[in-house]
Structure 1
Amino acid sequence: MTFLEQTIKEKGPILSSDLLDILLDKEKGLSKEAARKRLSRIRGDVAKVRGLFSDRQILFHDKAIYNSEEYFEGLTDALKKAGKQYHIILQSLAFHYGQIKKEQLAAYTVNPVKNLKGHLTFHSAIEKLVKLQLVHQDDDNIFLLPILAEGSINGKRAKGIEVAKNFLLIQFNDWSRKIGLTSYNTSVFHGEFGKYQFNFVSPTYVGSLPKFSVKKKIVPGFLIADVLIGNTVTEKEVEFFINKLKTLKYQKQIASFIPFLIVESIDPKSLNLLKSEGVVIGFVNELFGEKYKELLNSLINLVTNAGAILKKNPEAYLDLISKLNKLVDGKTNNLRGDLFELAVGYFQGRICNSIDIGKIINYQGEQREIDVLGFTAQKIIVSECKGYNHKIDKDEIDKWLGNKIPVIRKWILDQPSISDREIQFEIWSTGGFTEEAVRSLNDKMIKTKKYDIEFYGLEEMMEKSKELKSKKFTEILREYYIKEI
């Protein structure tokens, strides 16, 4: 074994620049060119990772440690040092407790969502991270490899923050319109500006922000904003935002813009850094009041601990909905989809011995999310929740029947403690189902003998709500899930 191979084995994954320094320190008279040639001749039990690091660096590692904890830690350390655009994605996922919606993650990176010369697109960056197994994805979310999160993986809290963020964006949009910063019906959530994604994008005609084009047409300025809640924000967490802004400023003919970063808590260094870059820091409590901030935290807590709360204290769900409605004057209708699985969980909590909300299961490498999982002494109830204001079509039903149910069923049968119970799969849709979807469901119900299938549209949901004998719940169901359908 050569000196270089031994060094790689002892030090674990190592970048070519560091390996070069070690070699030059050992052999004082060796030129850099000669040292680089030796590195290029490394063979044996050494693997090389290319195409990710600045200055065309290579990561060397012993083939024997591939896919081990040592390998992944060495790879992420190398990205932190010489692969910032990938490291920031991993860092943002860790801040959000290990998962973010696919359509939202791009905002928390330095990668453009459209082609920009000299920059790797977000889509390409994710493809490489998936290939390296540092992240994985399902139909809706992107997940961080658990060993990289230092214990911060919590899918339910991530879901709670996502719901609260959606609620916050609705309120920020309303606030910006009321003070005249933006116009009605102009904002986009998780939209693009300057080829980068932001949580909030809206044209503004305030003050000197608008310009006139060569053809004398008015070109508006833009209000752009990202949201960081659920954790205290530090310097490393604002790196993505500052880098996006710097790139925007270098673009020719970019529209004028006002950058906002909305936070709950931030350390002094980050605060000063953002101010020096001309960023407006919007504290949640200062924008909307202390009660609003408390309500957001209650919302996060409810979604995070939904199973226990809906079983032990179901009235907490009803009380929170009432408070949300009172504080924001009826705008909870916009959260119909986000909160619908809690409504179904409320129902299941009254008939099941225990429930779990938003459970992530993994069977032989295939991951699925169960919206509501209920247990009785004889039965397991798996509920899919669709809080839509439109009908579910046959394609979505076939995807549920053919892609989701088989994996979840196999997972249940693989759990000795529950594998002997009956299984019932349900799909709840506030918008109902198309005729084709209903035919597909009825056909599957007739043919399937190994488990039960049920589906509930508008009328069936109201009938089931009456079973609870809870007037308050029936009113909320009618107000937030039926009124506008």
Structure 2
Amino acid sequence: MNNLVHKYLKKHGPALSSEITEYLVNTLKLTPDAARQRVSRAGGDVLRLDLSFPRRAKFLFLKEQSGSNLYWVRLELALLSTNSAYGFAITALSERGGVMPRHHFEIACGAPIKQKKHLAAEVVLNKLKSANLLKEIHVEGIGPCIYLGLHVNHIETLIPAMKARLFTEELVLRGVKSWMRKLGFISYDKVSVRSLEKNPTVSTTAWDLAGPSYLSPLVTFPNNSSKPNPGFVVCDILLNHEVSESGIAPYLQKLNALRCLKNVGKQLCFFFAHSFSDAAFKKLKSQGISPATTSAVFDNETARGLRELTDILSEVAIRSIEPEKIDIIFNSLGKIEGAASRLRGALFEYIIAETMRAEYSHPVELNRLCQTPKGIKEADVICSNHREVRFIEGKGYGFNKQVSGDDVKYWLSEQIPIFRAFALAHPDWRDRDLVFEFWTSSMFEEEAITKLNIAQQNTKQYKIVYRDYRDVSRKIRDSKNKALIKTFGDHFVNHPLNNIN
């Protein structure tokens, strides 16, 4: 009888103490008091998670089960079954591939920023971190990110998919913002979209896109005043493959918290996704929320382009992309306001990689994380042969933006030392010549050129090269790749919005 709790956990997996107590009473016929004592006194390799559950319940597990897939499945079920704020937060992360920017946590987790009778988003985050259920990592180009402890041994593999999702969601939010402003859904100058620094808020809650609305069904006139109080448009977005019913649960929890408040204007609510499960779609509709798909907001061609873009950017190990596919993405997403300039930045490294494949027989790598004792930096493109290794930094700018002196300074002083240290520690590269190149589809400012020329003259241990759009164009022509030449010409050099000032 001393090992009843251990035997239960061994057979059924991690569980709430209340579940084990119920089993001991109903199946083994212990009295409720005796069952509770058995559970509370269980020791040895029976561990307890330092997290609060309703009615003083604890989550119990064996030492050998800690951090396993079964542990995480049973924990999420336990949290959701008790309607726990911690469960909604874990679900939100799971639905987003297990990792998200820290600043987006208050949007996605389902908890308000601060509200009476509710756990605040920051409290939820800190408690989950202290229980080692969530961990934090700094991601180059993003900043601090939160991820599920389940992924601690392979978190780097999740970063490309997160970056792809964020980029695609940003394009959609730009398009939605423009669409809502033009149709008068939302106050033209007061609509705001999430960023890595600041999130749109309505009262106690944070959103991916929000703003006041003066549409007549949303406006109120308090105390017979002639001055209207606006309502609000609130939107969240999740561009995974299909949003499930559990995927919308944190959103509904957050919305319920907002609707509990008095003196807050009425809300017109949207949830944007590629697609929804039938259950999720019906659940949103039943609560007066618009389940808006990308194909409905834009069109089928644009929706396919968004999915294609996400797939391309997610595949960090991808070795080759047909230039025609890049061409299709530009053509299908060009309808979204501001998309062309953002796409240049995201896809320029693929142009570089395709160009270098004509010159190097060895594999050309994209977006490789170079980790050294000095730090971690991401290399856009790396190509090597038996003589040399080239690290290429790419800036896919339009002609209205030039590579600045600060851009070059960061590359020279922050990135190159990490890349060089990484190469010198690599068993196959340490004896090869090192070349560091900076490519842009635009031009360099005079200050940037000065810094680069000085660095070229003063550097003896490796070689520095820089190429503006003219040099890049010549390099691409030398590849003899007709599709690549056309794609670069149409979308990077000769695009109608790509004018030289």
* Structure 1 and Structure 2 fold alike (TM over 0.5): yes
* Corresponding residue for residue 48 of structure 2: 48
Deviations 1:272-296 (A, max 9, x none): 2111100012232222222222222
Q: Structure 2 matches for 1:134-149, cutoff 5 A? A: 134-139=134-139, 140=142, 141-145=145-149
Which AA in structure 2 matches 1:166? E
Q: Structure 2 matches for 1:124-143, cutoff 5 A? A: 124-131=123-130, 132-139=132-139, 140=142, 141-143=145-147
Q: Does 1:172 align with 2:176?
A: yes
* Corresponding residue for residue 302 of structure 2: 292
Contact 1:394 1:434 in 2 (8 A): no
Paired residues in the alignment total: 475
Which AA in structure 1 matches 2:183? I
Q: Does 1:208 align with 2:223?
A: no
Which AA in structure 2 matches 1:126? L
* Corresponding residue for residue 332 of structure 1: 340
User: Take 1:444 and 1:77, find their aligned partners in 2: how far apart are those partners?
Assistant: 59
Contact 1:167 1:335 in 2 (8 A): no
Contact 1:8 1:62 in 2 (8 A): no
Gap change, CA 1:86 and 1:339, over 3 Å in 2? farther
Q: Structure 2 matches for 1:212-361, cutoff 5 A? A: 212=221, 217-305=227-315, 308=318, 311=320, 313-325=322-334, 327-328=335-336, 331-335=339-343, 337-345=345-353, 347-349=355-357, 351-353=359-361, 354-360=363-369
Q: SS of the residue aligned with 2:215?
A: coil
> Offset of 1:373 from its aligned partner?
3.5
User: Take 2:457 and 2:496, find their aligned partners in 1: how far apart are those partners?
Assistant: 30
Contact 1:397 1:437 in 2 (8 A): no
Q: SS of the residue aligned with 1:254?
A: coil
2:164 aligned to which of 160, 163, 188: 160
2:387 aligned to which of 372, 378, 382: 378
Gap change, CA 1:400 and 1:253, over 3 Å in 2? farther
> Offset of 1:249 from its aligned partner?
0.8
Of 2-11 and 176-185, more deviation after overlay is shown by 2-11
Which AA in structure 1 matches 2:491? I
* Corresponding residue for residue 19 of structure 2: 18
What stretches of structure 2 of length at least 5 have no aligned partner? 195-199, 478-484
* Corresponding residue for residue 191 of structure 2: 187
TM-score (norm 1): 0.78
> Offset of 1:266 from its aligned partner?
1.9
Q: SS of the residue aligned with 2:21?
A: helix
User: Take 1:438 and 1:122, find their aligned partners in 2: how far apart are those partners?
Assistant: 48
* Corresponding residue for residue 61 of structure 1: 61
Contact 2:219 2:266 in 1 (8 A): yes
Contact 2:389 2:432 in 1 (8 A): yes
1:473 aligned to which of 488, 493, 500: 488
User: Take 2:31 and 2:280, find their aligned partners in 1: how far apart are those partners?
Assistant: 44
User: Take 2:456 and 2:84, find their aligned partners in 1: how far apart are those partners?
Assistant: 49
Contact 1:183 1:203 in 2 (8 A): yes
Which AA in structure 1 matches 2:472? K
Q: SS of the residue aligned with 1:232?
A: coil
Contact 1:15 1:60 in 2 (8 A): yes
Which AA in structure 1 matches 2:209? F
User: Take 2:275 and 2:187, find their aligned partners in 1: how far apart are those partners?
Assistant: 29
User: Take 2:121 and 2:257, find their aligned partners in 1: how far apart are those partners?
Assistant: 15
Gap change, CA 1:137 and 1:332, over 3 Å in 2? same
Of 421-430 and 259-268, more deviation after overlay is shown by 421-430
Which AA in structure 1 matches 2:219? P
Contact 1:226 1:260 in 2 (8 A): yes
What stretches of structure 1 of length at least 5 have no aligned partner? none
> Offset of 1:405 from its aligned partner?
6.1
Which AA in structure 2 matches 1:171? G
User: Take 1:2 and 1:445, find their aligned partners in 2: how far apart are those partners?
Assistant: 77
Which AA in structure 1 matches 2:166? E
Q: SS of the residue aligned with 1:2?
A: coil
Q: Percent identity?
A: 22
Contact 2:212 2:233 in 1 (8 A): yes
C-alpha RMSD of matched pairs (Å): 4.4
User: Take 1:126 and 1:384, find their aligned partners in 2: how far apart are those partners?
Assistant: 35
User: Take 2:124 and 2:402, find their aligned partners in 1: how far apart are those partners?
Assistant: 34
Which AA in structure 2 matches 1:175? W
Gap change, CA 1:335 and 1:188, over 3 Å in 2? farther
> Offset of 1:442 from its aligned partner?
6.2
User: Take 1:358 and 1:263, find their aligned partners in 2: how far apart are those partners?
Assistant: 27
User: Take 2:231 and 2:492, find their aligned partners in 1: how far apart are those partners?
Assistant: 41
Gap change, CA 1:178 and 1:228, over 3 Å in 2? same
Contact 1:219 1:255 in 2 (8 A): yes
* Corresponding residue for residue 120 of structure 1: 119
Which AA in structure 1 matches 2:185? L
Which AA in structure 1 matches 2:288? G
User: Take 1:218 and 1:244, find their aligned partners in 2: how far apart are those partners?
Assistant: 26
Q: SS of the residue aligned with 2:235?
A: strand
Q: SS of the residue aligned with 1:88?
A: helix
